[in-house]
């Protein structure tokens, strides 16, 4: 038995952007707590179109793709080895037809979807407004904000029929505090928080809880690829003087999607190491 005492035994979860970083850890921790987990991502090891997908989604995806940092199928195997059901499947959260098809496939295979973690996101560029690349603006809105909407809309009818569901959306301190040189990213992460509150209100009458996580800086492969000096300054802003770990996010999520949090909806839970606190 894991340290979670099988808190999520019998639950079925779908995680987006789960081939690395926070999403991968969310999937593993949900499985440790007893859930069956479907791993979805735009990059899947055995997919022959990874190069095109990476090209479409920009610099980080291209580096990850070329260095083989993608563990969707590996993560599904790790979960199967824990005795849970799991599979990895390609799902571009911006592609509404593909999203609908994948959720229908999960229902066919597992019969229900209890938990959706809207984690897929882009965090690969910093530039002031005058240099903001219009294509990146559109892409960030599409992946982060519309992607969250697309997946929520696709899962909603199933959760509504079940009269039960838990949705977690991934915001950021850039969404609550703003971020210098992060116009598009912070706008999407702020939008995710308002979307979360609206969905919490609509979901309550159907037994669907909708919450957001507000991470500070988390030491994922993607974060570590960022500008070293900038990362050091961000680290120094936290109360703990260090980045969080993907487990810190995954643990908060596991609590929020469990019955222990049944009266919590519409929150943006800070997992930030105190980066937003006033210090001098
Ligand atoms: N790492 C941090 O410091 C931090 C801080 C605040 C918020 N977040 C948020 O947490 C989430 C995960 O961050 P991470 O550090 O693990 O980043 P990451 O880049 O390692 O992971 C993002 C994942 O999303 C996938 N993805 C990208 N576009 C996609 C698409 N169109 N469809 C499906 N999948 C797609 C990527 O392939 C990748 O596996 C993101 O939403 C990010 O904005 C991260």
Least confident of 24-28, 122-126, 148-152, 217-221: 122-126
Domains of the chain: total: 1
Give the helix, strand, coil percentages of the chain, each rounded to 5: 50, 15, 35
Structural domain contains residue 26: yes
Question: Which of 56, 182, 222 gets mutated to test ligand 1 (max ligand atoms within 8 A of its CB)?
Answer: 222
The pLDDT tens digits for 30-74 are: 999 999 999 999 999 988 887 887 877 777 777 777 777 889 999
CA-closest candidate to residue 85, choices 119, 39, 41, 18: 39
Query: Over pLDDT 70: what percentage of the chain?
Result: 100
Give domain status of residue 277, yes or no: no
- Pocket-testing residue among 56, 63, 120, 143, ligand 1, by greatest number of atoms within 8 A of Cβ: 120
CA of 23 to the centre of ligand 1 (A): 7
> Is residue 45 included in any domain, yes or no?
yes
- Asked if residue 4 belongs to a domain, the reply is no
Residue 55: which CATH number? 3.40.50.720
Within-domain flag for 153: yes
Asked if the structure places residue 108 within a domain, the reply is yes
pLDDT of residue 125: 86
Q: State residue 1's pLDDT score.
A: 54
What residues does ligand 1 touch, defined as CB less than 6 Å away? 16-17, 19-23, 41-43, 57, 60-61, 91-94, 119-123, 143, 147, 170, 172, 215, 217-218, 220-223
Question: Quick one: pLDDT at residue 88?
Answer: 98
Note the pLDDT tens digit of each residue in 66-89: 777 889 999 999 999 999 999 999
Instruction: Check whether 219 has a pLDDT greater than 70.
Output: yes
SS3 217: coil
Pocket test residue of 15, 16, 18, 22 for ligand 1, highest count of atoms within 8 A of CB: 22
Residue with the bigger pLDDT between 161 and 123: it is 161
| Distance between Cα 280 and ligand 1 center (Å) | 31
For 173, residues 6+ apart whose C-beta sits below 8 A from its C-beta are: 179, 214, 215, 216, 217, 270, 272, 275, 276
Residue with token string 């222990």: 260
Identify whether 59 is part of a domain. Answer: yes
Share of the chain above pLDDT 90, in %: 86
Catalytic residue ranges: 185
pLDDT of residue 56: 77
Give the whole-angstrom CA distance, residue 42 versus residue 57. Answer: 9
Residue 17 included in any domain? yes
How far is the centre of ligand 1, averaged over its atoms, from the C-alpha of 220 (Å)?
A: 9
Nearest-atom index, ligand 1, CA of 120 = 24
| Domain that includes residue 121, residue range | 12-271
User: In the prediction, which pLDDT does 141 show?
Assistant: 98
Can you give the pLDDT at residue 61? 77
């Amino acid at each position: 038995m894991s340290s979670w005492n099988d808190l999520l035994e019998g639950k079925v979860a779908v995680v987006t952007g789960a081939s690395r970083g926070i999403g991968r850890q969310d999937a593993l921790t949900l499985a440790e707590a007893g859930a069956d987990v479907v791993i979805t991502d735009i990059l899947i090891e055995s997919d022959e179109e990874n190069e095109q997908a990476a090209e479409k989604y920009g610099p980080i995806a291209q580096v990850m793709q070329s260095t083989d940092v993608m563990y969707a199928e590996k993560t599904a195997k790790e979960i199967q080895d824990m005795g849970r059901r799991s599979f990895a499947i390609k799902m571009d959260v911006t592609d509404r037809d593909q999203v609908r098809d994948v959720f229908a496939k999960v229902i066919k295979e597992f019969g229900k979807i209890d938990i959706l973690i809207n984690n897929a996101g882009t965090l690969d560029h910093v530039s002031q407004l005058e240099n903001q690349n219009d294509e990146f603006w559109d892409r960030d809105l599409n992946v982060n904000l519309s992607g969250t909407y697309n997946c929520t809309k696709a899962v909603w009818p199933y959760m509504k029929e079940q009269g039960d569901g838990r949705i977690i959306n991934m915001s950021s301190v850039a969404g609550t505090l703003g971020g210098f040189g992060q116009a598009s990213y912070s706008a999407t992460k702020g939008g995710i928080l308002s979307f979360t509150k609206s969905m919490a209100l609509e979901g309550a009458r159907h037994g669907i809880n909708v919450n957001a996580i507000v991470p500070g800086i988390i030491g994922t492969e993607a974060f570590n690829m960022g500008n070293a000096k900038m990362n050091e300054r961000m680290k120094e802003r936290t109360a703990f003087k260090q980045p969080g770990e993907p487990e810190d996010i995954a643990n908060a999520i596991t609590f929020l999607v469990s019955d222990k949090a049944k009266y919590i909806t519409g929150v943006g839970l800070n997992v930030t190491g105190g980066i937003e606190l006033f210090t001098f």
